[in-house]
């Protein structure tokens, strides 16, 4: 998971985290882990799973990724 990206959200009642194992432009195959979700409330976990599944799009061809940072001043 050297290219994984991590995001965490913490408030007083809930701790939520997600590790994006596969991100835009990565090659994936059936059965690959796309993301790891951490949550301490089952209902929120189920909602997060649904949202992560909807966030991914798949294509047969290689996807060109645009740079997010174009220039550092």
pTM over 0.75: no
Give residue 12's pLDDT band: very low, low, confident or very high (50, 70, 90): low
Alpha-carbon distance 17 to 38, whole Å? Answer: 5
Question: What mean pLDDT, rounded, does the chain reach?
Answer: 77
Task: Decide if 73 contacts 53 (C-beta within 8 A).
Answer: no
Is residue 19's pLDDT more than 80? yes
Is residue 31's pLDDT more than 80? yes
Alpha-carbon distance 4 to 37, whole Å? Answer: 13
User: What are the boundaries of each domain within the chain?
Assistant: 1-73
Q: Across residues 36-47, what is the average pLDDT?
A: 78
Q: Is 59 exposed, middle or buried (0-12, 13-18, 19+ CB in 10 A)?
A: exposed
pLDDT value at position 1? 47
């Amino acid at each position: 998971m050297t290219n994984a990206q991590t995001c965490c959200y913490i408030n007083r009642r809930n701790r939520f985290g997600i590790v994006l194992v596969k991100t835009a432009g990565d090659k994936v195959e059936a059965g690959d882990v796309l993301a790891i979700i951490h949550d301490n409330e089952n209902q929120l976990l189920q909602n997060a799973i649904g949202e992560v599944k909807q966030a991914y799009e798949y294509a047969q061809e290689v996807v060109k990724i645009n740079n997010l940072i174009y220039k550092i001043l």
